[in-house]
Amino acid sequence: MSRRIAIIGAGLGGMTAAGELAHAGHKVTLFEQSPTLGGKAQVVSRNGVSLDTGPTLLTLPAVVRESFVRLGAEDLLPRFIPLTHQARYQWSDGRIFDCFEDLERTLEGAPAEAKGLRSFYAEAAAIHRAAGEPYLEAPFDGLPAFLGRVAKRGLKSMVNGLKLSTLDGLARKHFRASPQLQQFVGRFATYAGASPYQASAAFALIPHLEKQFGVHHVEGGMVALVAAMCGALTRQGVEIQLGVKARWEEGPYGLRAGRPGDEQPFDAVIVNADPLADRPLGTEQLALSGYVLLLEINRRLTLPHHFIAFGDDYVREFSELFGGEVPSDPTVYFCHPAASDPTVAPEGKSGLFAMVNAPALASPDDAAGWESRAAVLKARCLAVLKRVAPEVQPEDITVLGERTPLDLAARGAPGGSIYGFLPHGKFGPFRRPRIRSRVPGVFYAGGGTHPGGGVPLVMLSGRFAAELAIEHLGSGA
């Protein structure tokens, strides 16, 4: 039986859920308050230069491809460009660590740490088998069901899981004499907006996934993936309403959703928003936000696609961040997509995405200081750029835009936090808000719920939300 289902929010999680439900034969209406689809996956284009303003890389491409296959839309997918040189890491003393998809090639550049790198990646693979696979294979509906899936991997997996240290502890275990590679490992906690000194070693599964399944760039930028998903939804007959800030409510006659004052009855609702967004600021510590600087460079840079310039004192950096301050010596992530994709910048030019971690807003009063904070972080980003690319002159640089926690908050992110829930503690990754809400028939999708952030996981959350909605409707609810 066909049912009416509302999707509120057209990020990639909401779009995936809409496609799955329409493909299952339901009548789906997708509401989005912005004039464009994609949620955080937006683009800035000027003078032939295009830059993603949200996610900048793609892991687990098979998850994304499968989502399109399930909708009969694989032909719409843009090309995924594999990056054999996955990232370059550099320190202020000039030391460089190049990370390649091929571990042997990585080891050639760090022969003194070859043993540690081999043992680290071996343990990261074991963590993925023990905890990552059961975490990603089904919606998280509580610890007992999750531990049941872990137990299928054997008692040793459960014991090892209980013994996990912090991510920093794991890094020190394998790289006792290399503070640089300790930072390299610790950085993966920031994929979830966390501190390596408080986040679980379970986050080591991220570098394993990058090594095992590759790091990819979407040709034309992430906006090309959004356009492809829009085409898939059109094929499935999804009704898309842009510029509508919809809401949902539970009434005596069931669920209603839509524009305030014009809500319509629906049999189920999927909310593509962070479950923490409706809680008052300050009631829960949030994961990190970020400051983004978008640049047009009037020359073609020689920087690799992904480049990370570390600050000198990582402990101080995270102490400042979780103390509510912007970092005094920040680690800066640069994305230079023209290194792999000539369609995103004209010959002789480059676009550059620069990002530093920033604290989420702890209270409404925090918003007042962000104009001056943004100016400070802009200057620090440009100073680091001068260090890593000395050929760039001030006259070569045009600022295309900036993004601060205020911009993220305006799009519904709680406190401007990119990742929402802060997964600190041994079981932090597994305490993430669930997809199934406490209201029957209402489900969540997106990076703020299970299984977390990143394009493939967000799309997986949309698939899980659709499956739970179909199960709910099939139960006669």
Backbone angles phi, psi at 125, to 5 degrees: -65, -40
Burial class of 410 by CB neighbour count within 10 A (0 to 12, 13 to 18, 19+)? exposed
Q: Is the pLDDT of residue 162 over 60?
A: no
Residue 351 confidence (pLDDT) = 97
Residue 390 confidence (pLDDT) = 95
pLDDT in tens, 294-339: 999 999 999 999 999 999 999 999 999 999 999 999 999 999 999 9
Residue 234 confidence (pLDDT) = 97
Q: Is the pLDDT of residue 474 over 90?
A: no
User: What proportion of the chain, given as a percentage, has pLDDT over 70?
Assistant: 97
Q: Is the pLDDT of residue 164 over 90?
A: no
Q: What is the mean pLDDT of residues 186-201?
A: 96
* DSSP letter for each residue of 30-93: EEESSSSSBTT--EEEETTEEEESS---B--HHHHHHHHHHTT-GGGPPPEEE-SEEEEEE-TT
Question: Sorting pLDDT into bands at 50, 70 and 90, what band is 476?
Answer: low
Residue 279 confidence (pLDDT) = 80
Q: Is the pLDDT of residue 144 over 80?
A: no
Q: What CATH class is the domain 4-39+223-275+433-474?
A: alpha beta
pLDDT in tens, 53-82: 999 999 999 999 999 999 999 999 999 999
pLDDT in tens, 260-269: 989 999 999 9
| 3-class secondary-structure state, position 476 | coil
Torsion sign (Cα): 311, 314, 320, 324: positive
pLDDT in tens, 337-351: 999 999 999 999 999
Contact 433, 453 (CB under 8 A): no
Report residue 278 as tokens: 């409706």
Beta strand 442-444 with 27-32: parallel, antiparallel or unpaired? unpaired
The model's pTM is 0.94
Host H or E run for residue 194: none
Q: Is the pLDDT of residue 454 over 50?
A: yes
Residue matched to tokens 């990646």: 121
User: What proportion of the chain, given as a percentage, has pLDDT over 90?
Assistant: 81
Quote the CA–CA distance of 305 and 351 in Å, as a whole number: 11
Nearest of 232, 265, 230 to residue 248 by alpha carbon: 265
Q: Which residues does 19 contact at the CB level (< 8 Å), separation at least 6?
A: 67, 70, 71, 73, 229, 232, 233, 236, 238
Residue 477 confidence (pLDDT) = 47
- Comparison of pLDDT for 155 and 32, the residue scoring more: 32
Quote the CA–CA distance of 210 and 62 in Å, as a whole number: 13
**Structural domain boundaries in the chain:** 4-39+223-275+433-474, 102-213, 282-416
Q: What is the mean pLDDT of residues 362-380?
A: 90
Quick count: other Cβ atoms within 10 Å of Cβ 35? 7
